[in-house]
Structure 1
Amino acid sequence: MSLVSLFSPLRISLKNVYPIWNVYKKNVSLAASDKYEEEIRNKILAASLPFVIELGWTKECLSKGAEQVGYPGISHGMFTRGAGDLVHYFNTSSNEKLVETLKQFQEEYEQKPITPGEFVELAIAAKLKMLVPYKNRWPQAIAIMSLPPNVPNALAALLAMVDDICYYAGDRSVDFNWYMRRLGVAGVYKATELYLIQDKSENHADTMEFLKRRMEEAVQLHDIISKSDIAGQGAKDVAKSAFVTILILTNSKFLHIDKERERERDNRNTENRHAIYTLQRIHIV
């Protein structure tokens, strides 16, 4: 047998592999390009935040941020949602900072445990403090994220935040409380956020007192609903419908900054899916 005939099948096999290899290289190249562009976007967005106090949540702010890190001012064209992308970056990046704070709370109160309600109160207060530098501009941010193209991102960021808070507060429920607690935390947070932007008290003491009262009311309401079969069923249906609507609107999208956090959220999402599956099996959902 000649060498040519011996290696002929190998040539055919390699010939078939070339198109696959080219597609693979192209995909890798595109992924690298997307990652590089995302790094530039995040760099510009981070540099833009200090200008918000002066310029508000605007394209001008994005232009200043781009120039600050060495890119032309017209780079704001990278952001298809304009100021909506900037507000969303603040929401997601502050959520990441909040998670680190929640981990510190866990360590701090490991020896002297506090109630889940007290933990949630501390968590909401910590997140609200991140808004304080932008307090005068926050009504504009709320208006921007209320626009239809920005609603999915706004809901996704809010849902991610309340899920983090409930998780680190120790919530491992597999009944309708999983829904109720997250909706309750979201309601308390949004109410307190609105109170904050009009609070003129020293160190926002009135806001912290408002938060404390809302948390007490939320805990009492949760206890009443949990002990009432009729009210509980109605609340369960409302909570489930609200969460399904949010998941549809957001396409279950959560944005993350680092791989470790992303893996942690993936594990949590698996836990949540198992919890919901359990509810369905026992006919609670």
Structure 2
Amino acid sequence: MTDSQTSAADRLLEAALAHVPFDGWSGATLAAAAAETGIDPALAKALYPRAGLDLALAYHRQGDRKMQEALATRDLSTLKFREKVALALRLRLEQADREAVRRAATLLALPQNAPEAARAVWNTADTVWNTLGDTSEDGNWYSKRAILSAVHSATVLFWLGDTSEGSAETWAFLDRRIENVMQFEQTKARIKASPVLNPVLGLPFRLLESLKKPQAPGPMPGSWR
């Protein structure tokens, strides 16, 4: 998109947020945003051809960018890696509008939108790992993003129903999920190091490690940098 188109897309998204609590991520919301910003409805439709779905996905991508910007302002040098991951997901939720996320989750839960939902969540996990400097080249590239996608999805669902002050219960839930992941990684390491367990139980891990991460941007979620 040109700079002017990008600006128009951003203005439409910003205006749409005020209408989402009433009309959801929908064609009505896009039309209201176009009227409010004075942008030609034809241009609005060209920028967001699937109306509410494309608006919701744009909002999701905006959340990823804001997370990156927030991480860039933090001193991460004293944090353990698990703490960096937890901080990234927490920062992403802290800048999000709960009702906008709730409406997006409802829309993306529809069967016809499942591929877009999976791609959006995977790209969030990909953004976290790339921002934190992930250098994995083998199957760990996939497993890290798959596991973090599950952690992120579960945390978002918990957050949507969390009424605790400052979302304290959500952050505790997130810490527990990451602790579960660490326990899995420790178990995997013990299996790989065991001459008794590795020949059989270690087979899935050896197969996973034989994979290679994508070597160029393509139609699959994630990217190589």
TM-score, normalising length from structure 2?
0.79
User: Identity over aligned residues, as a percent?
Assistant: 24
Q: Deviations over 1:50-106 (max 9, x none)?
A: 32234322222212211221135676543321210111010111111111122223x
Does structure 2 conserve the Cα–Cα contact (< 8 Å) formed by 1:121 and 1:211? yes
Q: Deviations over 1:227-259 (max 9, x none)?
A: 323444325657999x99xx9xx81367xxxxx
CA–CA distance in 1 between the matches of 2:102 and 2:14?
Answer: 20
Which of 93, 98, 104 is the aligned partner of 2:73?
Answer: 104
Corresponding residue number in structure 1 for 2:84: 119
CA–CA distance in 2 between the matches of 1:74 and 1:239?
Answer: 49
Change in 2 beyond 3 A, CA 1:43/1:136: closer
Greater CA radius of gyration, 1 or 2? 1
CA–CA distance in 2 between the matches of 1:238 and 1:146?
Answer: 29
Which of 52, 57, 73 is the aligned partner of 1:83?
Answer: 52
After TM superposition, the runs of 4+ consecutive aligned structure 1 residues lying more than 6 A away are: 238-241
Select between 186-195 and 164-173 the one with higher mean Cα deviation.
164-173
CA–CA distance in 2 between the matches of 1:93 and 1:163?
Answer: 14
Pair 1:224 & 2:191 matched: no
Does structure 2 conserve the Cα–Cα contact (< 8 Å) formed by 1:48 and 1:64? yes
CA–CA distance in 1 between the matches of 2:7 and 2:209?
Answer: 37
Corresponding residue number in structure 2 for 1:71: 39
Cα offset, 1:149, TM superposition:
5.3
Corresponding residue number in structure 1 for 2:177: 214
Change in 2 beyond 3 A, CA 1:47/1:239: farther
Corresponding residue number in structure 2 for 1:165: 128
Pair 1:197 & 2:197 matched: no
Gaps of 5+ in 2: 192-197
Pair 1:58 & 2:23 matched: no
Q: Deviations over 1:118-152 (max 9, x none)?
A: 10001111111233x2x245343123223455444
Cα offset, 1:160, TM superposition:
2.4
1:50 alignment partner, SS class: coil
Aligned length in residues: 214
Structure 2 matches for 1:44-55, cutoff 5 A?
44-55=12-23
Change in 2 beyond 3 A, CA 1:36/1:136: closer
Q: Deviations over 1:156-214 (max 9, x none)?
A: 33222212212333421234322222212111110111111111111111111111111
Change in 2 beyond 3 A, CA 1:173/1:142: same
Does structure 1 conserve the Cα–Cα contact (< 8 Å) formed by 2:17 and 2:100? no
> Aligned AA for 1:109?
L
> Aligned AA for 1:194?
L
TM-score, normalising length from structure 1?
0.64
Q: Deviations over 1:7-37 (max 9, x none)?
A: xxxxxxxxxxxxxxxxxxxxxxxx86xx654
Change in 2 beyond 3 A, CA 1:76/1:195: same
CA–CA distance in 2 between the matches of 1:187 and 1:240?
Answer: 23
Which of 148, 158, 174 is the aligned partner of 1:185?
Answer: 148
CA–CA distance in 1 between the matches of 2:31 and 2:151?
Answer: 35
